Amino acid sequence: TRIAIFASGNGSNAQKIAEYFKDSSTVEIVLILSNKKDAYVLERADQLGIPSYVFTRSQFNNTHEVLDELKKNDVDFIVLAGFLLLIPEYLVDSYPEKIINIHPALLPSYGGKGMYGEKVHQAVCEAKEKETGITIHYVNNKYDDGEIIFQARVALNNNDTPEQVAQKVHRLEYEHYPKVIESVINN
C-alpha cells in the first residue's frame, strides 16, 4: 500500500508513522504533502528521505493539482496528521473510505471547525474534564465527522495544564496511529 501523509505543521505524527513503516515490505510512505511551505513536517520529510509536495489552499480547493500529484505517485491511501484544511469533495470522492484523520480529543466532543491543536486542550482544561483522548476516523467533507475507527482515553487531573494534556495526547497518538493505519489498510 502506497500512503500519502498530509500535515500542516510540526509533523511529529507523520514522523512516527514513517518510522513505523520504514522496514515494511507492504506499506510505503511515498509522499508527504503540506499546505504550509514553512511547515516543519517538510524538514522531517527531507530527513526521512520522503518526497514532499507543497500546495496552497487555493490550489487545493480550486484545482486538481494535488489529486494529480497523488495519482502520479500511485497513492492508494491518505493519512491526515495535523492537517487543518477541510478535504474537498473531489478528493473524498477519489479516495472513498481511503482517507483517515486523527483528532486529539474524544469526538464528537471538542471537534469541528476551529477546534484543533492547542485550542482543543485548552477547552478540555477549561471544562475540567476528567479524561481526554484521541479519535481516529474516516474523512468525509465535513470537519471531524466521518465514521469513528478507534478511540483511546487518558485520565487527567485538574492541575494538568494544556501543555501537559497535549503531551498525554501525543503519547496516545504515537502509540496508536501507526497500528490503526496498519489495521485499516489490511482490512
Please indicate if the annotation marks 117 as binding a ligand: no
Residues between 38 and 97 that touch ligand GRF (CB under 6 A): 81-82
**Cell digits of residue 20:** 513505523
- 144 lines the binding site for ligand GRF (CB under 6 A): no
Nearest Cα neighbor of 111 from 98, 92, 124, 100 is: 124
Nearest Cα neighbor of 66 from 93, 35, 102 is: 35
Q: Which stretch binds ligand GRF (CB under 6 A): 12-20, 54-62, 153-161, 179-187?
A: 12-20
Considering the complex, state which of residue 57 and residue 71 has its C-beta at the smaller distance from ligand GRF.
Answer: 57
User: In what helix (H) or strand (E) does residue 51 lie, and over which residues does it extend?
Assistant: none
Cβ of residue 133: shortest distance to ligand GRF, in angstroms?
11
Cβ of residue 17: shortest distance to ligand GRF, in angstroms?
9
Q: Is 137 a catalytic residue?
A: no
Among 102, 107, 124, 181, binds ligand GRF (CB under 6 A): 102
Q: What is the side-by-side strand order in the sheet with 148-155?
A: 52-54, 28-34, 2-6, 77-80, 99-103, 131-138, 148-155
Amino acid at 35: N
Please indicate if the annotation marks 57 as binding a ligand: yes
Q: Return the SS3 of 106.
A: coil
List active site positions. Answer: 103
Footprint of ligand GRF (CB under 6 A)? 7, 9-14, 81-82, 102-104, 116-117, 169, 173
Known binding-site residues equal: 11-13, 57, 101
